[in-house]
Structure formats: C-alpha cells, structure tokens
A and B are shown apart, each in its own frame.
Chain A
Amino acid sequence: MNKTLLVARREYISTVRRKGFIITTLGLPFIITLFYGIMGGAAYFAMRQTREKTDRIGLVDESGLIQLALLEKVMQSEEGRVVQSEEVPPMFRDRANAEARKMIGKTELQPFKTRADANQAFLRKEIRGYYAVPADFLQTGKVELEIKKGLFMSDSSPGWNQVRKLITASLVEGRLDPAIAQRVWTPATLKTQALNDAGKPDQRGQYAEISSFAIPYAFVILFMLSVMSGAGYLMQGISEEKENRVIEILLSSVTPEQLLAGKIIGLCGAGLTQITAWVTIVALPSLYFLPFLDLRWDQLIIALVFFPLGYLVYGSLMGGTASLGNNFRESQQASMVWTLSAVVPLFFFTAIISQPNGTFARVLSYIPLTAPGTIVMRAGVTHVPWWEVGTSAAVLIASLFVIIRLSSKLFRMGTLMYGKKPTMVEIVRWLRAS
C-alpha cells in the first residue's frame, strides 16, 4: 500500500476510535435534540399552564344590543380559524388544530345581567374578569374589560375575539341578508398557493423557505464543528507524536509530505464519517419532511465537493502550524487563526443570505478560507452560476497545492524543532529557505 495511504489509514482508525470522537459523533445530535427539546418543552408547558388559568370570562351587556343566542354560533365559527393549509405537514397541522380547539374551548363566555353580578362572581373566583358593553356603545364603540392581571406573557384579553364577533353578529343579524351577515362577522380567510418557476403549483410551500435558510446554516455549523473537532485530533496526534518522538521514526520511513498528506486524508475521512453520522441521525427522522423541503441535487453535489476541499485546506493549514508547538496547547494557540477563519462565513450569514449573488458573497467565494462555507450558503438560497462554483473550486484546489507545499515545509522544520517556539521571522525564513 502507498505510504501516504498507510498513514491515512492509521490516522483514520486511531481518530475514529478515540473516545472524544465517538462521544462527539454520536452524542452531539442527541445533545442538540435534548437542548431544543428541553427549551421547547418548557415553553409548551408554560403556555399550557397559563391557558388553563384563563378559562371563564364574564360578559355584561348594558347596551341591550347583544343577542346572546348567537354565542353558540360564534363559538363554532372560531373553529374556522384553525390551520387548513396544505403547506403544513399533516402531523403538524393536526397537532396545531387540536391545540387551537383546546384554546377556544378554554375561554368560556358567561353572560351576567349587571356588573355587580359579574363582580360577585369574580369575588367567588368563578371568573377571571368580565367584558362590559356600555349603554352608549353605539356612540363610543368602546367595550370595557375588568380583569385580574395574569402572568407575564399570558393572554391579557381572553375571549376578546369571541366578544368582538358576538357584537358584530348581533349588530348585523336580522338587518342584512344572512349570507352577507355571515361574511361580515366571519370575514375573508386567506388561502395561499405557492408557484414554482414553471408557474405550476408548488407542493413544498413555506417549509421550503425555512429549509433554504436552515440547511446552509446547519451545513456551515456542521462543517465548522467538524473542522474544529477534527483539527483538534490532528493537532493532538501531531503534538503527541512530537512529544514522544515517534515522529522521528516516522520521518525515517516516509517524507514529511507523505506524512502530512496521509494525516490530512485520514482526518478528512474521519470528518466525513462524523458528518455522515450526524446527517444520518438527523436525516432519518427528517425524511418525513423531505417533500416539504426545498432540496436540490446541485446543493448536494456542491456540499459533497466543497466539504472535503474545505477540510483538506483547513487540515493542511492546521497540520503545518500544529507542528510548530511543543505540546497540544501551544499547537492549539498557533492554529487559532484558522479556527477563527472557519467561522467567518457565519459572521456574514445575513449578508450572504440576503444578497447571495452580491459582490460581497462572490468575493468570499474566491477566498480559499471562506469559499467552502460561502458557496454552500449561497447555493442554499439561490442558484449559483456553475462557472462561479467551478472557479471557486479551482481556486480551492490551486490554493490547496500551495498550502500543502508551505505546510509541509513548516511541518518538516517544525516537527524536528524542540524547545523554543519559532518566531514569525524564523518561520518566514524556513519557508524561503527550504
């Protein structure tokens, strides 16, 4: 077997066997799920609790305009507000509707003859408060609400929708044609149909919009996490080999270029394994949403090309600089600058997403360190012209050659240097001399 591949194989196996790698690979999706689960769950239960407290509200009619007989009809019409959209996956739609029905049912309007009666009921804690339609309502149009303040974020005017509808219905009932009257108090609802480029109905709907934002974002986050953890292992490996002098034995069998290349290939493999594991863990449950997501083949191809390229660029840079330190900590400090540049596209996320084919996004696509993240983000929200994707890939490949050359020079010198850290001047001298 080729020596580079031998090194790559060993590096891959030793990396994927590391406890840290296994924990990160298998644990991260669960940690993230758990985190969002706890956050979402907490919010859900908090909302439920506040809802349960706002169940009964009084209604006092001093104007004599309200036809209480219409109350039942109004309550039923509220159900019309629940989600019907085909754009929402059925699982979510049903769930949302069930919740909406529960909410409507939770606010029950209870008529009282006078404010004093309502007040008594309030003191008996039968109601949380009451609406009063004053005698001069027709002139002022004002309805009063006397209510005990709820918790922060809780509904401060429960049942207001029903009251307003009931007033409207009472005003028009018997005075207008029944069909028109119905439209007055249950006015228009909006039904949206998304179209694709061909002018045909687009089945995917609003989730496609979210996915076009979320997928590139998730990719860049995954890329960053993977580069950082992978580079961490690379650095750890190099500094361990340097500390225990194994590196000298290795260099007596392989060239520094072979050693560095092998390490980076092995690491890239481990990184791909990690991403594949993450995607699999996350993707299996999300297959359900696939028809609703705006995923394109070109996005997948771009991700598959740019991920390894990005990994190779960052791996070579980190490998070269990691060899300069005497131990893991020093190596980490030396390579900090690369870790930070991996995050750059995230800093400009909004700028890139809002103007995916703008000058700024284009420039970032041609800078080797930011190209992988930027191109993938752009491809997530728009069709990046193929020539631009090609140029960006070409820039990455060309710079990869330069970076590997420079990195192996640093690696050659750095791995054999012990004791003191080289200064910038020394580093430049090595790069020129060797």
Chain B
Amino acid sequence: MNKITFENVTKQFGSKVAVAGLSFEIPSGRVFGLLGPNGAGKTTLIRMLMDIIKPDSGTILYDGHPLAESDKDRVTYLPEERGLYRKEKVRDVLEYFALLKGISRSDARSRTLKFLARLEMSDVALRKVEELSKGNQQKIQIAATLISDPEVIILDEPFAGLDPLNVQLAKAVMAEERSKGKTILLSTHQMNQVEELCDDLLMINFGRQVLYGTVESIVQRYSEPALILECSPISGEIPEIERVVAENKHWKVYPKPGVAPTAVLKSLIDRGVQIERFQKATTPLEQIFIKVARESAQEARQ
C-alpha cells in the first residue's frame, strides 16, 4: 500500500473553502512535493490524508481503497511545528510512538535502540527530552517519525529550523527511505529542496490545484526553449540556431524548432567554439511558484 489517489476532494470550514475539488495521485515509491503559499490548504489536505479530518465530498484512496484504521499504522507524519513530551525520557517517547503504530513492545524497544545508535545518540536514551540540545531534539523527532518503518511518510517542512548538519542528515535519511521504495510526501516552501528532492509536485492555492506533474515537466513547461552557453563568441549563420542573445556572462541560444540540444552542441564544436558550460535554460521553480501564485490570486479576486 503506497499509492494515494485524491478524487474530487472538497473540504469547507464554515463559508471558507479550504480544499476545492482536488484530484491527483501520489505515485508509490516517489518523493511528492506539496507546495502552496500560506493558507493555501496544504495542512487541511495533509490532515485529510491522515484521516484526522474527513473531506466533505470526494474520496481519498490508498491503493484503491479508503484508509482503514489498520492502514494508519503504515503512514507516518512529521508535523511542521513539532514537539515531543519534554519531561519524558527519550527512550520512552520513541517507544510510545512506535507502540501507537502497532509495533510490539519488544520490537519497539529494539528499534528505539537501533535508531538511537544510528543517529549516534545511544548515550541519551535515558535522558529527558528537555535536556537535549535543539539539534538533538530534532533528530529524535525524525527518529520518532520513522521508527515504525512506515510505507508512506508525510513530512511537513522537515528541514525548518535544522542546522546544516542536521539538514544533511535528514536528506540522507529521506534518500535512504526512498531507496527502500517508500512513498514520501514533502510539504515545503523551500523551492530548491523541491527541485533537489522531489520527483513530482502539486501546487495548490486557495484550495485549488494550480500546478501538477513531474518536477521536470513543470520546469520545462515554464522555461524558454533555449540553451545557456558560456563560450567563445558565436558568429555567423548556424543552420541549427534560430537566434543568439548575449546576456550578462553567457549566451542564450534558441535552437530552431525540432533541433535537439546535442545537434546544436555538435555544430558549435565543429565551428571551433570553445565551450565551458552548456545547459538547458530552465526557469527556477521559485520564479514559477511566484508567477503561478500571483496568477491564481488574481484569478481568485476576479
């Protein structure tokens, strides 16, 4: 069980529509980015996904069937603003979260010790959470999320407030989970993280879908069909190239329709152009986010 399907899901609080007729699919074994400005409906969507609140209409399916109580044990959630039982021992907190996910008591104990060892924190097992440094508390939180070996992992701004070392650790853990075929939903504002970590993304605003697809296809859709080159000057007519624009430190090369970038590269090399950098011109996700958010806000006002 790790493919999730939303079918025409709507949720309203009083007169405020939090989620309006959303349909999308979170494919199994991939990292799915959930984006949207504050108040876009991300938290509501996650809570419906976790069955904490019910949609007014529409269905949410896990591998084709509604989330059963037993399925909940295989889904885990790291909320954005997170905390732990501060007055309790690290070991007790981790064990409790594991037990709540249906892990047996003996398993919960051995997994706790294993996780603490992996995070190089075996020595804090019997210390109270509040005695740990902030960074170590964050590591414990990540451990609490993953201790039940879930199939679906929902992470709400998992890197917020982490120091660079812990960001690296968290990313490594995510990569490891992904390599095990886990489905990961990553809700974040950090566009660079989405570009770096996500395979697919859904952007919502005012409860509606504004962008949806693989990260690659979306970036391509919003990018110019151009190539960026740092090279010696390009002169004369080149049959594969429509036009060349000189920009600050590089050239922007527009190939003729239907011409592959490799054909352009080969042609330039054949003409003796010295090339230091060659890449597709892509619009950063952040710019796409801002553009789309503004457009959808305008639409909503109209």
Contacts and interface: CB of A to CB of B under 8 A. Distances in A.
A69 B227 CA distance: 137
Given A1-B99, A14-B88, A249-B144, A255 B81 contact: no
A3 B100 contact: yes
Given A252-B77, A416-B47, A416-B53, A244 B72 contact: no
Given A6-B100, A416-B47, A251 B52 contact: yes
Question: Interface residue tally of chain B, by bracket?
Answer: 20 to 34
B96 A10 contact: yes
Contacts of A252: 50, 52, 72, 75-77, 154
Contacts of B270: none
Contact of A244 (B50, B73, B83): B83
A120 interface: no
Q: Which of B73, B79, B85, B100 neighbours the largest number of chain A CB atoms within 10 Å of its CB?
A: B100
A246 B93 CA distance: 11
A394 interface: no
A269 B79 CA distance: 31
A328 to B, nearest CB: 14
Nearest to B14: A429
Interface string B264-277: 00000000000000
A164 B99 CA distance: 83
Interface in B59-95: 69, 72-73, 75-79, 81-88
B24 interface: no
B86 to A, nearest CB: 7
B6 interface: no
A246 B77 contact: no
A245 interface: yes
Interface string A98-117: 00000000000000000000
Interface string B98-111: 01110001000000
A245 B88 contact: no
Interface string A238-252: 000001111011111
Interface of B: 14, 47, 50, 52-53, 69, 72-73, 75-79, 81-88, 96-97, 99-101, 105, 144-145, 154
Given A244-B82, A253-B101, 17 more contacts: A7-B100, A10-B96, A14-B85, A14-B87, A246-B82, A246-B85, A248-B77, A250-B100, A251-B52, A252-B50, A252-B52, A252-B76, A253-B73, A412-B52, A412-B53, A416-B47, A416-B53
